[in-house]
A = this chain, B = another copy of it.
Amino acid sequence: MTYPNWLSQRSYLSGDRMALSFEERQWTFSEINDLALVYAGKLSALGVKADSRVAILAKSNPDFVFVMYGCLHLGCEMVMLNERLAKAELAYQIEDAQVNYVLVVDVLKEKIDAANVILFSQLDETEPAAFEPQKQWQQDRTISIMYTSGTTGNPKGVRQTAENHFSSAVSSALNIGIAPEDVWLCSVPLFHISGFSILMRSLIYGMGVRLYEKFDAQRSAEEICNGTVTYMSMVGVMLERILANVEEAAMPASPRFKAILAGGGPIPVAYINRAEKCGIPVLQTYGMTETSSQTTTLQSADAEQKIGSSGKPLFLYQVKIDGTEEPGEKGEILIHGPQVTPGYIGKFAERKVQEDGWLHTGDIGYLDNEGFLFVVDRRSDLIVSGGENVYPAEIEKVLLAHPAVREAGVCGGPSDKWGEVPVAFVVLNKEATADELLVYCREQIASYKVPKQLLFVEELPRNASNKLLRRELRTWL
């Protein structure tokens, strides 16, 4: 099964419709398609081909979008780099993915040490070469690759195919509806599935995207109230700041505004109630990079009755709890559906991501008697900090590489601003200060992963087989 090229098809079918707006500028689908063709020609002139794998590091602005759409026309695979990562982390992903090229916006060029770098300024100066855009896209074509960590602390590159993105977009539409006048406010990162999936929906639905380079609670609140946008994706911590702004303006959300989709863990019911007073439905979602965005969604109307639930699966998806028979029994959450990645690349290429068609999430949860999902224990003690996934094992690995550290354990601590922040517990080998260790971390990992607190202890909580008990660490805070 193939798809028509989404960019050409969208331009053909609704070329005059607004596709993208950024600050005061906006582009129709026909215009972005033309720009994407130009960028594809430029990339082609510089050697990028249909079977190339390219990494991209850029800021969330229209140039980033056009370069990505150029890559889509060419047919190459895009490794989405997180601009907040440290140099060593980026180097790991570029190496693991064995990319042919790294496309880098000039302001971020210091972050990349790699051969085959193409700067955005070089693209600007390059004359487009003639090339043939791919008319048909194979369903199993890899569109994007995103790195996510896990129990081992080694990030794994997750493949997201055209079918993954398409079925995710369609499933969301079957859940919340679509209308030609929809505009999705995107201030979540484009290199994460949360932002990238908004671009995919835009092409598939013919829907406008209002793009922000950075989250801006006040402007977001204004757009929600004046109805220039109809949907917005965010993580829990952003919600409170938007609500505060809407409440301060003492003006309800526009009736044109339809809903906020909120990921990254349960939202306090108090927020849902405040949002309701502002006329803003909030849909809580559960998903991951391996499921190309949300898998389950909790409707606003169910939020009060099902506190802490992640809702029900979207139409094409199925969720079950491994090894359980009865509602309420806890076990590993398994997911089935066309949104599930076919697998990893690089050194984890051989790792099976599905068993009998079911993704083993590593998260623990249960389904209640009405089939609502509750996630009770997240995979690898995942910390969600300001929308970024932080894996304790990754930070522990860095700390353990320091000569003064004998043992290290990381868990999430509460934060009003970020929801959670990483906190480290360290058993020393020899004398060292917390500052010394934190400076050491800062050189090697993104600043959002650097522990916000570092405590020295005599020993770490471990079970009989000497496994670190991170949950126990939390109780120490």
Q: Which residues of chain A in 170-204 are interfacial with respect to chain B, using CB atoms and an 8 Å cutoff?
A: 170, 173-174, 177-180, 204
Residues of B within 8 A of A177 (CB): 177-180
Stretch at the interface among A1-9, A123-131, A382-390, A400-408: A1-9
A1–B338 contact, CB under 8 A? yes
**A318 on the interface (CB 8 Å rule)?**
yes
Q: Chain B residues near A170 (CB, 8 Å)? A: 170, 174
B-side contacts of A457, CB under 8 Å = none
Residues of B close to A206: CB separation below 8 A: 174, 315
Q: How many copies does the complex hold?
A: 2
* Nearest B residue (CB) for A337: B4
Which residue, of A4, A174, A179, A357, has the highest number of chain B Cβ atoms within 10 A?
A: A174
- B9, B173, B316: the one contacting A3 at CB < 8 Å is B316
With an 8 A cutoff between CB atoms, is A12 at the interface? yes
A9 to B336 alpha-carbon distance, docked (Å): 13
Q: How far is the CA of A315 from the CA of B12 in the complex (A)?
A: 10
Is the beta-carbon distance between A315 and B204 smaller than 8 angstroms?
yes
Residues of B within 8 A of A4 (CB): 315-318
A173 to B371, CA, bound (A): 27
Q: What is the CA–CA distance of A2 and B167 in the complex, to the nearest angstrom?
A: 12
- Residues of B with C-beta under 8 A to A178: 173-174, 177-178
Interface residue SS majority, chain A: mixed
How many Å lie between the Cα of A277 and that of B204 in the bound state? Answer: 32
A108 in the interface (beta carbon within 8 A):
no
A432 interface hit (Cβ, 8 Å) = no
Q: How far is the CA of A9 from the CA of B9 in the complex (A)?
A: 31
Tell me if A251 counts as interface (CB < 8 A to partner B). Answer: no
Bits for A319-344, please: 1 = Cβ < 8 Å to B, else 0.
00000000000000000101000000
> Please, which residue of chain B has its CB at the minimum distance from the CB of A177?
B179
Contact B204 A174 (CB under 8 A): yes
Question: Would you call A448 an interface residue if the criterion is a C-beta within 8 Å of the partner chain's C-beta atoms?
Answer: no
Q: Inside 8 A of A3's CB, which chain B residues have their CB?
A: 316
Closest residue on chain B to residue A178 by CB atoms: B177
Q: Which residues of B contact A318 (CB under 8 A)?
A: 4
Question: Smallest distance from the beta carbon of A465 to chain B beta carbons, Å?
Answer: 37
Instruction: Indicate if the CB atoms of A13 and B312 lie closer than 8 Å.
Output: yes
Residues of B within 8 A of A1 (CB): 163, 338
CB distance from A325 to the nearest CB of B (A): 15
Separation in Å of the A175 CB from the closest CB of chain B? Answer: 8
A440 at the interface (CB under 8 A from B): no
> For the complex, is A205 an interface residue (Cβ under 8 Å from B)?
yes
A176 CB to nearest B CB, Å: 8
Residues 1 to 58 of chain A near chain B (Cβ within 8 Å): 1-4, 9-10, 12-13
Q: Which residues of A are at the interface with B, using a C-beta cutoff of 8 A? A: 1-4, 9-10, 12-13, 163, 170, 173-174, 177-180, 204-206, 312-313, 315-318, 336, 338, 357, 371
- Could you name 25 residue pairs across A and B whose Cβ atoms are closer than 8 Å? A1-B163, A2-B336, A2-B357, A3-B316, A4-B315, A4-B316, A9-B315, A10-B315, A12-B312, A12-B371, A13-B312, A13-B315, A170-B170, A170-B174, A173-B173, A173-B174, A173-B178, A174-B178, A174-B204, A174-B205, A174-B206, A177-B180, A179-B179, A204-B315, A206-B315
Listed from nearest, the 8 A-B pairs whose CB atoms lie closest are A177-B179, A177-B178, A4-B318, A170-B170, A12-B371, A13-B312, A1-B338, A177-B180
Beyond A10-B315, A177-B179, A178-B178, 7 extra complex contacts between A and B, CB < 8 Å: A2-B336, A4-B317, A13-B312, A173-B174, A174-B178, A174-B205, A177-B180
